[in-house]
Amino acid sequence: MTAADTHRAIDAVWRIEAPKLIAGLARMVRDVGLAEELAQDALVAALETWPETGVPDNPAAWLMQTAKNRGIDRLRRLKLAARKEDEAAREIEAQLEAAMPDLEAALDDDIGDERLGLIFTACHPVLSTDARAALTLRLLGGLTTHEIARAFLVPEPTMAQRIVRAKRTLTDARVPFEIPPGEERAARLATVLEVIYLIFNEGYSATSGTNWVRPALCEEALRLGRALAGLAPQEPEVHGLLSLMEIHASRLSARVGADGEPILLLDQDRSRWDQLLIRRGLKALDRAEALAKEGKTGTGPYVLQAALAACHARAHKAEDTDWARIVGIYGALASLTPSPVIELNRAVALGMLMGPASGLEIVDALKDEPALKNYHLLPSVRGDLLKKLGRMDEARAEFERAATMTENEREKKLLLDRAKACAKPA
């Protein structure tokens, strides 16, 4: 294996194992910031060692053992003046020494309590909502600071500062590593759901890189969503989110072509949609709607989004899609959680139902929305509506503008191809 091959292997291992590694370390040291630092130390050690020795048979166990050793070394080097701090250091060292006697069994555990514990810890109310979501994505989602910034539509330096401050705040507040009980768990649930959905979305439509989809992230979000449904079985929004993710995940294999090129929803071969995942999603939606009715809580945003996804899942052909129902659901969603992104999606649906001119009217009203200033789907949607109206020069310009705004190479090529298709024949 060449050095380049080894570095690619390390990157792949890190993407998969970092969340489990950080969660396990956080449980031991009770400090998410320190846990991430130790995990990064282990990554540096792997980059230094594996090109010479090769990738170990169990890279996850190697990383965990290395991180533990680095943690113990770091604590032993501390020069603590106060006796109380000295005792605390010895206590943490003892925890590290005793923790996880069977590393391989622990790392292969599918229950996921440690990772859910890390999500609930990172979603502590001592942090702002945005900080909770950003920190959890950083620690558990395998996302870079740049990717998280794109997901939140904020500058990367702003997001970097937010994550650093969040870790420091958790450390200073001595927030315990736990899945909280009862009412406290319910209070953090909305942010936990947001985080899991953002992880899924990054997998379903990657913000950057050479791949349009990252199935491993979708699988991790689904695993967390299923575990959360077990922890909170009476929460309709938990089942709503799970339904939404199951139905969207059913399209993953049809979402890209043989060479990894993107295939848009209406162009997909629906025979390739995973019917098992669709059935699971529809069952979760039925459960969510029944719980909302029983609890008289009203239909929440995730249940509504799952209902939207179900409209597509139930249509065997694109032309069978119930666009009237979709427009109505988007209207309910916009009333519940007003958002320019929801309005943009409603414009697409209205364009399919009433014609492109109707959709374009809504899109044009969104052109000056600050939150959509760098959102590539705004010019992309506008370009599609203009093309349908036969305004090819304007459509081409919009597709080209959208291509400059996305950092995903596959999506950029798709948009440039659409722009080229609008050009007048020579």
Please return the burial class of 158, using the count of CB atoms within 10 Å of its CB with bins 0-12, 13-18 and 19+: middle
Are the beta carbons of 56 and 50 closer than 8 angstroms?
yes
Beta bridge partners of 262: 256
Contacts of 21 (CB under 8 A, 6+ apart): 39, 42, 60, 63, 64, 67
Which phi and psi (to 5°) does residue 319 adopt?
A: -70, -10
**Residue 179 has which token pair?**
């899945």
Domain boundaries, the chain: 336-426
pLDDT tens, the chain, 426 aa long: 677 778 788 887 887 788 778 888 887 777 788 888 888 888 888 888 888 888 888 888 898 888 888 887 777 766 444 445 555 556 655 655 555 444 444 433 333 467 778 888 888 889 987 888 888 888 876 678 888 887 776 889 999 999 999 999 998 888 888 778 777 777 788 888 988 898 899 889 988 778 889 888 898 889 889 988 988 899 999 999 999 999 999 999 999 999 899 999 999 999 999 999 999 999 999 999 999 999 877 899 999 999 999 999 999 999 999 999 999 999 999 999 999 999 999 999 999 999 999 999 999 999 999 999 999 999 999 999 999 999 999 999 999 999 999 999 999 999 999 999 998 765
* 114-133 CB burial, b ≥16 within 10 A, e <16: bbbbbbbbbbbeebeebbbb
Q: What is the largest CA-CA distance in the chain?
A: 83
Please return the burial class of 231, using the count of CB atoms within 10 Å of its CB with bins 0-12, 13-18 and 19+: middle
Q: Which CATH number fits domain 336-426: 3.40.50.450, 3.30.70.20, 1.25.40.10, 3.90.1200.10?
A: 1.25.40.10
DSSP 8-state assignment for residue 342: H
Answering whether pTM is above 0.85, one says no
DSSP 8-state assignment for residue 261: -
209 membership: H or E segment, kind and range: strand 208-209
**Residue 229 has which token pair?**
């449904």
